[in-house]
Amino acid sequence: MKVLEQFKSLKSIEIGSLILFIIFIIFPFKLPFMVANMVDSSLGLIFLFIVTIYLFFHTNPILGIIFILVAYELIRRSTESTGGNHIIRDNTSQEIKDAELQQLNPVQPTTLEEEVISIMAPARNDFIKGDFTNDFVAVTDSTIGASLF
C-alpha cells in the first residue's frame, strides 16, 4: 500500500526520469566512447555516487533505488566498451578461471636439487644406525672466570 502511495506522489519530472531509467536498464544501448571513458574514471564514479545520494535525499526514494541499478549498468557497459578498469567483472565459470590461472602460472621444470631431495627424503630406518639418545654427550667450554649473568 505504501508503494502505491510512493508512486502517486511522483512529480512529472520524476516520472519522466523513471521511464528513461527503466528504458536504459531494459535495452542494451551501447555507450558513446566519450561517455564510457568519463564513467570509467574515478571522477565518474564519484559523480555517480553524488547523484545517487542526491536522488535519495531530494526526490522520491524509488527513483534513487532505480538509479542504483542504472549506475550499475552504466559502469558495466562503460567497462565493456573501454576495456578499462574492470570494476565489475562478469561471473565466469571455474573452468575458465582455472585455464586462465594455468596460462599465467605454467608448470616449472623439476630442478636437480628437487630430484635429489625427492630421492633421498624422507629418511628411512636403514640410514639410521643405533640409538642416538645413549650416545649424547654435552659439549661445553670452560667457564672459568665467567659470571653467571
115 lies in some domain = no
Query: How many degrees, rounded to 5, is the angle at CA 16 between CA 13 and CA 19?
Result: 150
Full-model pTM: 0.54
Q: Is residue 66 part of a domain?
A: yes
What is the structure's pLDDT at 96?
86
pLDDT at 117: 81
Which residues lie closer than 8 Å to 9 by C-beta, 6 or more apart? 60
Does residue 122 lie in a domain region? no
What is the pLDDT, as a whole number, of residue 71?
94
**Residue 106: cis peptide before it, omega within 30 degrees of 0:** no
Mean pLDDT by 10 residues, the chain (149 residues): 71 86 91 88 91 90 91 88 63 82 88 84 58 59 67
Residue 23's domain spans which residues?
2-82
pLDDT number for residue 9: 75
Total number of domains constituting the chain: 1
Q: Can you spell out the DSSP letters for 57-77? A: HHS-HHHHHHHHHHHHHHHHH
Which candidate, 48, 78, 43, places its Cα nearest to that of 64?
Answer: 48
On whether residue 105 sits in a domain, the answer given is: no
Domain-embedded: residue 131: no
Instruction: Classify residue 136: in a domain, yes or no.
Output: no
